[in-house]
Chain A
Amino acid sequence: MSTSDNHQPEPGAGKKIHRRTILGAAASAVAIALVKSSGGQLVPAAVPAATPVAKAGAPVVPADATKVQGAVHGTLGTRSGFEQLKKKPTDTSSRSPLQDFHGIITPSDLHFERSHGGVPVIDPLKFELLIHGMVDRPMVFTLRDLKRFPSVSRIAFLECSGNFRGNKEEMTPQDICGLTSQAEWTGVMLSTLFREVGIHPKATWFLAEGSDAAVMTRSVPIHKGWEDAMIAYGQNGEALRPEQGYPARLFLPGWEGNTNVKWIRRIEVGDKPWMTREETSKYTEPIKDGKIRQFSFDMDARSIITFPSFPQQVEKGWIEIRGLAWSGRGKVVKVEVSTDAGKHWQTARLQEPVLDKAHTYFRYLWPWDGRATEIASRVTDDTGYTQPTMQQLLQARGRDMGGYHLNPVTAWVIKGDGRVLFKPEKWK
């Protein structure tokens, strides 16, 4: 964002300067300059001569916002320059700033990302989805075709199954589990397309293939296709972001992120899994007795307190503990919060809507007495599953436990001076 966005462009987009502006300019030594609006066009802006020079990137604040005209309206909205929301990118992924969210919808530009060959540019007019294999009629659907079918929308989370980091105190929710996000996804149910092509009665799996540089593939049991799989082309009311698979992706509610193949170009229906690289050598996890668990699709229930969290500082007195809870198997039915290092647990309030396979916001009001302690949350879903501790996971999976599908109770240490630190979980 350029600092000029925060100046006060005059309405009228350069055609006419209002009398009031000129009067205002005369009255308070305001200069008129051409600046770029948030929409990119040059517009005249009243620039108060007395405005202090701001640090690069920070908004310029007038001495009295009631005495100068505000910004004109651009073709795109902008985030306040005071809000420094950022994904944390690596070469292959980018993490959502969970600690900055006030609700359950992840702003589209802050949705986590993961790719295996970068983000491709796909021309929506040339997009085609082929469905073939064990079908009566192999068919090709253009994006326009997909959009003509009856459509559905649902709000659901999407989480990478490799979504736990926990080796040091100085970690934010974004660092620990920022590879989860939530959007309203719109598209055509895969079952609708299955009706069109006619699925062979003996088909049990399908292969989903992307058109990225990895031409990434995953095998998916066909029941998921009939149950709630979607070919999504909408995200939070607009087209998918390129990073989320523009123009269309597979969306499998509650299932590990990697199976939600982006930039989808092909679905092959068959009767066995294909044993692709991602479902054999990558998204599998060592468990007890030297075994390796495969096709671990469901994301187990999980929660995290996002406030207070590192690096925030709290004060003695009332604190509203806040966070997110979710389950890939169904609805959140309960979130419990402990403020005494796990000795006692109290029920948090859940914010509606509490949706199936969706991030759910929870709150718990807590009078902090100023003494050092630990706070943590744990969720229970409608299958009766309660989020485990790391020790419980280790007991179940053994010391060689792999890094996928880790959903341990996450605790924050509150120091006597109000500092908040993550309580590290080391298991190797």
Chain B
Amino acid sequence: MNNQGLFYFLLCVWLIAMTSCGSSPVGTAAPGKLATASTPDTSNWPSSFAFGHTASASYIDSIDIDIAPDGKGLPAGSGTATEGQTVYAVKCAACHGKTGAEGPFQKLVGAMGDTTKAKTIGNYWPYATTLYDYIRRAMPFNEPGSLTNAEVYQLTAYLLHANQIIDATTVIDAGSLPQVQMPARALFVNDDRKGGPEIR
């Protein structure tokens, strides 16, 4: 690609990026911002520097552990609150309390509207899939990443039930978890600050 071609290619990429962000309420970029001092002059750059190597599908699979709100990334397996109670008692209760409402760290349980002042799964978490994603990647604190997929499903079910969001027998799996409606979901709004004189 010659320089002019590259310029138009980048312009297109940029315009598309800007346009698609326009539909996102959090997009804040102004057109002039692209020409900041920190942006390199790419006019004499090759189309590729050919540094780095192509990632294999197996490598990507080995570390791509995120779970999207639509359930993308959820593994096979399932769990119920009843199963999760045992895992919770052994691996979680020491930090989060006997029922999840006590702490000392991160009170997890407190249904929407109850008297707790803590931000709990029941009154503050907008997506159920976040539970699976976070528990699997970061918990338990003293042994992060050690839980089996089944244990994570079981704990997810246990915590949803403890927060009065599902009943004790609901099977949580890749199909049902994204369908769980979280009570706090409707409270979330995108950032409305945008600089200028107005205080928000």
A270 to B72, alpha carbons, bound, how many Å?
Answer: 12
Contact in complex: B60, A137 (CB < 8 Å): no
B5 in the interface, Cβ–Cβ < 8 Å?
A: no
CB < 8 Å: which of A140, A195, A384, A386 contacts B59? Answer: A140
Contacts of B17 in A (CB 8 A): 199, 201, 203-204, 222-223, 226
A49 in the interface, Cβ–Cβ < 8 Å?
A: no
Supposing A201-B20, A224-B29 touch, asked if A189 and B38 sit within 8 A by C-beta, the answer is yes
Contacts of B53 in A (CB 8 A): 139-140
Contacts of A253 in B (CB 8 A): 38
Q: Which of B20, B28, B37 has the most CB of A within 10 A?
A: B20
CB distance from B48 to the nearest CB of A (A): 6
B138 in the interface, Cβ–Cβ < 8 Å?
A: yes
A148 to B52, alpha carbons, bound, how many Å?
Answer: 10
Contacts of B12 in A (CB 8 A): 201
Q: Mark A285-298, 1 if CB is under 8 A from B, else 0.
A: 00100111111111
B190 in the interface, Cβ–Cβ < 8 Å?
A: yes
Majority secondary structure of chain B interface residues (helix, strand, loop or mixed)? loop
A274 in the interface, Cβ–Cβ < 8 Å?
A: yes
A207 — nearest CB in chain B belongs to which residue?
Answer: B66
Contact in complex: A215, B65 (CB < 8 Å): yes
CB < 8 Å: which of A228, A294, A397 contacts B38? Answer: A228
A138 to B17, alpha carbons, bound, how many Å?
Answer: 19
A199 to B9, alpha carbons, bound, how many Å?
Answer: 12
**How many A residues have CB within 8 A of the partner chain?**
83
A131 to B60, alpha carbons, bound, how many Å?
Answer: 9
A327 — nearest CB in chain B belongs to which residue?
Answer: B195
Q: Mark B31-65, 1 if CB is under 8 A from A, else 0.
A: 00110111110100101110111110001100111
Contact in complex: B199, A388 (CB < 8 Å): yes
CB < 8 Å: which of A204, A226, A384 contacts B195? Answer: A384
B:122-167 near A, CB below 8 Å: 124-127, 129-130, 133-134, 137-138, 144-145
B138 — nearest CB in chain A belongs to which residue?
Answer: A214
A215 — nearest CB in chain B belongs to which residue?
Answer: B137
B115 in the interface, Cβ–Cβ < 8 Å?
A: no
Contacts of A293 in B (CB 8 A): 189-192
B127 — nearest CB in chain A belongs to which residue?
Answer: A275
A14 in the interface, Cβ–Cβ < 8 Å?
A: no
B18 in the interface, Cβ–Cβ < 8 Å?
A: yes
A275 to B70, alpha carbons, bound, how many Å?
Answer: 10
CB < 8 Å: which of B26, B45, B127 contacts A295? Answer: B26
CB distance from A27 to the nearest CB of B (A): 58
Q: Which of A191, A298, A393 has the most CB of B within 10 A?
A: A191
B124 — nearest CB in chain A belongs to which residue?
Answer: A281
Contact in complex: A213, B138 (CB < 8 Å): yes
Contacts of A221 in B (CB 8 A): 21, 24, 26-27
Contacts of A215 in B (CB 8 A): 65, 137-138, 144-145
B189 — nearest CB in chain A belongs to which residue?
Answer: A291
A130 in the interface, Cβ–Cβ < 8 Å?
A: yes
Q: Could you show 26 A-B contacts with beta carbons less than 8 Å apart? A: A130-B55, A139-B54, A140-B55, A145-B52, A154-B37, A191-B40, A192-B40, A196-B48, A199-B13, A202-B20, A203-B17, A214-B137, A217-B137, A221-B24, A227-B39, A228-B33, A230-B38, A268-B64, A274-B67, A287-B189, A291-B187, A292-B189, A294-B188, A295-B26, A298-B28, A298-B191
Q: Write the residues of chain A forming the contact surface with B, with a CB cutoff of 8 angstroms.
A: 116-117, 130-132, 137-142, 145, 148-150, 152, 154, 189, 191-192, 195-196, 199, 201-205, 207, 209, 213-217, 221-224, 226-228, 230, 253, 265-266, 268, 270-272, 274-277, 280-281, 284, 287, 290-298, 300, 329-330, 356, 381, 383-386, 388, 392-393, 395-397, 405
Q: A272-B68, A280-B188 are in contact. List 5 more A-B contacts (CB 8 A).
A: A139-B53, A203-B20, A215-B137, A280-B126, A293-B189
